[in-house]
Each structure stands twice: as C-alpha cells, then as structure tokens.
A and B are shown apart, each in its own frame.
Chain A
Amino acid sequence: MKNLKTIISVLFSIIFLMSSGIPENLEKKVDREVKDVFEIDSYKFEKVDVSEEIKSKIPSRIDDENFYRINSKGKVKGYVYVDKAPSKTADFDYLVIFDNNLKIVRTKVLIYREEYGGEIGSHRWLSQFTGKSGEDSLDDIAAISGATISVRSMTNAVKDILKTMKILQIKKVI
C-alpha cells in the first residue's frame, strides 16, 4: 500500500509538472522579461480562475497554462499572457505583460519561425503597444513593409487580449 501511495504521488507530480506552466522553451524568456519589467528578483505565478462561461465570451484563448497573475512578496504586480499567433506560414509565440492597472508594460515576440515577417520582433515597433489598455484603439499602429501579415496578426492578437482583460475586469475575475 505504501508503494501505491508513492506511485500515486509520483503520478500526480508528473501530471502537475506537465499541466502547470508555460512551455519549457519559453519559460526562461518569460521569466527574464517579468523580472526586467517589474525590476524584481522573485515572484510567483498564480493561476487565474476563469469560468467556462467567461471563456466562451472572451476573444483571446485563455487556459490554465497561458495566463497568470504575477505576485511578488504578497503584492500583485500584474498579469502575464503567452499565446501563439499566425504568421504567413507558421505560428509565432508572443508575450504580453500588464501592470496592476491593466496597462500593457511589455510585449515581446518569443519565438518567430518564418523567413519573412520577423521584423515584428523589433523592440521599437513593439513599444507602440506599451501603455495601451482596454480603452485604447490600435488603429495607429504603424505597418512594416515586407511584414504586413505578421503586423496584422500581432496587432489583432493584442487587440484581443486588451478586450479580454477588459471583460475579465468587468466580470471581476481580475
């Protein structure tokens, strides 16, 4: 019986390891950005419980693995969101970090996988999203020649997460 307990606990920890957290290949990059933007050395990611009903009403895809509250020393610093968006022939991974006023403080293209369109990783271009919140329009985001599709895709992704954050705020989830 003791064996069974061990096995069950091992099993649970395996399941836990697999189901929690941002994909391993992105984790380090996300960690670096969170520490950099809030100027903190340690923090915890806390799951945000979003009901199925709300999930069906928001434009962004939120699951247990891509949206977290950032807690540092008992204080809520902000929120982090990681997802994929399409480029012309592949997907890229991106990150959006919000402060506790739900304003964007950082966007980053974590992995870009295609020949064309990688210009959207430019810090200068991404900085256009900084400071935006649910109230703001993104119609003034500049285009990039030779990266039209990825520019549109990233802008739409940010639009969606801004709308999502607003809904979550109204529904008092965050």
Chain B
Amino acid sequence: MKKVTLTLILGFVSALSFSQTTNDSIIHDSQIQQNSAQRVISAKDGNAVTLGAYGEIVYNQPEGDNGKLDVHRLVLLLGYQFNDKVQFFSEIEVEHVEEIFVEQAFVNYNVANNLNLRAGLMLVPMGIINEYHEPTTFNGVERPGMDRSIIPTTWREIGVGLSGRINSASLSYQAYVFNGFKSTNADGTGLIGGSNGLRGGRQKGIKSTVNKPNFSAKVDYYGILGLRMGLSGYVGRTQADDEIDHLQGADVGLSMVGLDARYVFNRFTARGQFIYASLTDTEAYNDLTGKDLGSALSGWYAEAAYNLLPQDKEQKLDLFARYENYDTHADTDGTLVANDSYNRDELTMGLSYHIAPGVVLKGDYQFLDNAAAGNDVKKQLNFGVGVWF
C-alpha cells in the first residue's frame, strides 16, 4: 500500500514538474518533430509565434495618361518569442508581385526593464513613415513624397544597437550603429543623385559593402496626452566598393536630423514632419560620377484628418488633407546649379475608410507641382486597398 501510494505521489510530482517544463523551440525527438509551418499553426502557448502580414494594392490614375494597377507590396511578418526576454522578428516583403526582399530580420534581447539590445537587419529610425509604414497607419494611397526622396523609405540596413522605454518619463529611445548607403560602384557608377537623393544607395543587407560605421538615434516623447513627438539624428559616411574607395569623391558625408509630431484628440488627428540632411564632398562625388547630388536635402509636411463617423463605431472614415514641400537640391556645392524641378510640393486630399480595424480603403487626389519655370501641375487620382493583421 505504502509502495503504491509512493509511486502515485512520485508519478504525480513528476507529471507536475514535466508540465512546468517548457519545450525547446526545436524538438529533437523525431516522434514529435514538427516543421516550422506546423509549429506556427500549433503553437500551444499562443504567443510564441507571431504570424502576420500587411499589404497594399494600388491604382494610380494620372490625368491624361494611362493608369497603373499594382500589388505594391505584400509583406509577411514572422516572429518568434523564445522567452520573455528574447525575440526574433522578421518581415519578408514581396514588392510588385515579383521582387522579394527581407525588410527586417533582427533579434531583440531585453536585458533589463528599460533596455533592449538588438542586432540584425533593422529600420533606421527617422521620421514617422519609415518605422510606421503599414498602410492602415497613414492616410493617402501613396506615402508622402519626402518619405521616398529624402528619407528613403523603407530605409533599413544591418546593424546593432539599443532601444528602450523610460515609462516614468514617457519616452523611448533607440541608438544604433548601422551600415551606410553605398555611393559608388567599383566601375565608378554613382548610385545616389539629385532627384531621389540617397535612395539609390540603400544596400538593404544585400551582400552590402562596409568600411565606415554610421550612427543613428531617435528619441520619442509621449508625456503630453494625445501628443507624440520624435527627434531623430543620423551621421556617417557612405560606402564605396574596395576598388574605388581611395578616390576622392567616392564617398560623401551625411548628417540628417528629423523632427516629427503626431496628435490625436477624439475624432481629430494631425501629424507633421521636418527633415534636413546635409552632405559633404558632393562636388568631388559629382565630378567623379557625373551625378547631380545636392549638398542639402530638406522637406516638411503637415497633415490633418477628421473622422466623419461617431467615435464609438468600430469603423473610421477619415477625411484628410496633407501638404508637403521638399527639395533634394535645397543646396548644391561647386558648379552644380540647383535644379528647380527637385523643389517639389504636393497637396493630397482624400478619404481613408477603415471598414474594420486592420482593413482600409483609400481614395485621394493629388496635385503634384515643382518650382521649375513653366512647369504644369500634375494631377493624379489614387485608390488603394490596405490590410494589416
């Protein structure tokens, strides 16, 4: 009897302790081994695997030209929580149906309450859209133009850094060492230039070349109810292929500063952003590559929106207007004459109809203008469907 009881108790205790043991993410017993897809589907502890997506399908109709229909992007979000401290997060992006990119892939290690270490392919924190680019988070079918030509959204590189929040001060911080843009190929081709600034120089973690570190930081403050403000900074130099990086002008220096704000009060929302980038050695770079890179890029936008539906409804219908002005030739060095057509302004007005949290139908009308003499204002109608889950 004693023996039976003892066995039962031991069995019970060991069952208890077994149920307390968390399985490794990779199970070595072939009987219960699962492939990754099965693990995603059967994640028992619910939160371990994150599977999500966002995507946008757009229709652009410029006045007087043919329209364009495009599955602009479809992004698969895949994350895994190894424990409360260690996570992996990734975004695998399919652009225009056929181009595949890894947009983010990093490990986050929460070493203390207010401190995370992270490493991998990460977003450069600059302005609003580069970090918050899911289609349901911004108004307008197209992202603001300056978030293409000045902040080259989606701007991501491989790096390491820290991030964290200080709840008592209502602020969050990020600081990273990143790989920089690539300015020049081995054959002397320049990758960055006048119209779209640094955009062509993004290395995106694709066999990227590195010889000089770049530094990026952002602080967000949200201690005033409804308001959130960000201050971002980036300093460094571009990279050039080994064969050419000793040549003067193969790389340029870059400092960028950004200020952004977002405000929400009941049915009213507003946001704005200002970015200024200063580049050095652009004259030598332009001489070497024949490009027309400006020595300063600058721009700002302001947007206001009002939800036409009552606040207690799950649906939202935001009527919005956004004005932006940005110039990728805010200044030029040497003999390069500023190209006025790079001094652009855009007015966008339209609706974002959130039919459920995570699904948006967008429609807007844009007036695209620039400062070049004799330029006609281009008008464009846009429609889009966006999802995020």
Chain A positions within 8 Å of B, measured between CB atoms, are 1, 3-4, 7-8, 11, 14, 18, 25, 89-91, 109, 111, 113, 115-116, 118-119, 121-125, 128, 142-146, 148-149
A residues less than 8 Å from B224 (CB atoms): 124
Contacting pair B13 A14 (CB below 8 A): yes
A residues less than 8 Å from B228 (CB atoms): 119, 144-146
Contacting pair B222 A122 (CB below 8 A): yes
The verdict on B117 contacting chain A, using a C-beta distance below 8 Å, is no
Known: A119-B228, A145-B264. 20 other contacts (CB 8 A): A1-B2, A3-B2, A4-B2, A89-B47, A89-B50, A89-B52, A111-B84, A118-B165, A119-B170, A121-B167, A122-B167, A122-B222, A122-B223, A124-B223, A124-B225, A142-B225, A143-B226, A144-B226, A145-B269, A145-B271
The verdict on B59 contacting chain A, using a C-beta distance below 8 Å, is no
Q: List 28 A-B contacts (CB under 8 A).
A: A3-B2, A11-B12, A14-B13, A89-B50, A89-B52, A89-B77, A89-B79, A90-B50, A109-B167, A111-B84, A113-B81, A113-B87, A115-B108, A118-B172, A119-B220, A122-B167, A122-B170, A124-B223, A124-B224, A125-B170, A142-B225, A142-B264, A142-B265, A144-B222, A144-B228, A145-B263, A145-B264, A148-B357
State the Cβ distance, B75 to closest chain A Cβ, in Å: 14
With most chain A CB atoms within 10 A of its CB, the pick from B137, B167, B263, B271 is B167
Closest to A91 in B: B47
Closest to B222 in A: A119
The verdict on B21 contacting chain A, using a C-beta distance below 8 Å, is no
The verdict on B379 contacting chain A, using a C-beta distance below 8 Å, is no
Contacting pair B52 A142 (CB below 8 A): no
* Assembled-state Cα–Cα distance A123/B81 (Å): 26
The verdict on B41 contacting chain A, using a C-beta distance below 8 Å, is no
A residues less than 8 Å from B77 (CB atoms): 89
B residues less than 8 Å from A8 (CB atoms): 9
The verdict on B31 contacting chain A, using a C-beta distance below 8 Å, is no
State the Cβ distance, A155 to closest chain B Cβ, in Å: 13
A residues less than 8 Å from B264 (CB atoms): 142-145
The verdict on B206 contacting chain A, using a C-beta distance below 8 Å, is no
CB within 8 Å of A: which of B202-257?
Answer: 220, 222-226, 228
Contacting pair B168 A123 (CB below 8 A): yes
The verdict on B37 contacting chain A, using a C-beta distance below 8 Å, is no
Known A-B contacts A119-B228, A122-B222, A145-B269; the reply to A18 vs B16 at CB < 8 A is: yes
* Assembled-state Cα–Cα distance A89/B13 (Å): 34
State the Cβ distance, B370 to closest chain A Cβ, in Å: 30
The verdict on B6 contacting chain A, using a C-beta distance below 8 Å, is yes
Contacting pair A146 B87 (CB below 8 A): no
Contacting pair A123 B84 (CB below 8 A): no
Contacting pair B170 A90 (CB below 8 A): no
The verdict on B89 contacting chain A, using a C-beta distance below 8 Å, is yes
The verdict on B148 contacting chain A, using a C-beta distance below 8 Å, is no
A residues less than 8 Å from B137 (CB atoms): 146
B residues less than 8 Å from A119 (CB atoms): 165, 170, 172, 220, 222, 228
B residues less than 8 Å from A142 (CB atoms): 225-226, 264-265
Contacting pair A123 B225 (CB below 8 A): no
The verdict on B5 contacting chain A, using a C-beta distance below 8 Å, is yes
A residues less than 8 Å from B172 (CB atoms): 118-119
* Assembled-state Cα–Cα distance A90/B80 (Å): 11
A-B CB proximity, top 7 nearest = A145-B262, A142-B225, A122-B170, A121-B167, A89-B50, A143-B264, A124-B223
Contacting pair A90 B47 (CB below 8 A): yes
A residues less than 8 Å from B269 (CB atoms): 145
The verdict on B132 contacting chain A, using a C-beta distance below 8 Å, is yes
> Which of B79, B84, B87, B168 contacts A25 (CB under 8 A)?
B84
B residues less than 8 Å from A144 (CB atoms): 222, 226, 228, 264
Closest to A122 in B: B170
B residues less than 8 Å from A18 (CB atoms): 16
* Assembled-state Cα–Cα distance A111/B50 (Å): 18
* Assembled-state Cα–Cα distance A116/B54 (Å): 15
B residues less than 8 Å from A1 (CB atoms): 2
CB within 8 Å of A: which of B31-90?
Answer: 46-47, 50, 52, 77, 79, 81, 84, 87, 89
Closest to B223 in A: A124
Closest to B6 in A: A7
Contacting pair A4 B168 (CB below 8 A): no
Closest to A84 in B: B47
B residues less than 8 Å from A118 (CB atoms): 165, 172
With most chain A CB atoms within 10 A of its CB, the pick from B16, B89, B222, B226 is B222
Closest to B131 in A: A146
Contacting pair B222 A125 (CB below 8 A): yes
A residues less than 8 Å from B16 (CB atoms): 14, 18
Contacting pair B165 A4 (CB below 8 A): no
Contacting pair A123 B6 (CB below 8 A): no
CB within 8 Å of A: which of B3-18?
Answer: 5-6, 9, 12-13, 16
A residues less than 8 Å from B79 (CB atoms): 89
State the Cβ distance, A88 to closest chain B Cβ, in Å: 8
State the Cβ distance, A153 to closest chain B Cβ, in Å: 11
CB within 8 Å of A: which of B151-172?
Answer: 165, 167-168, 170, 172
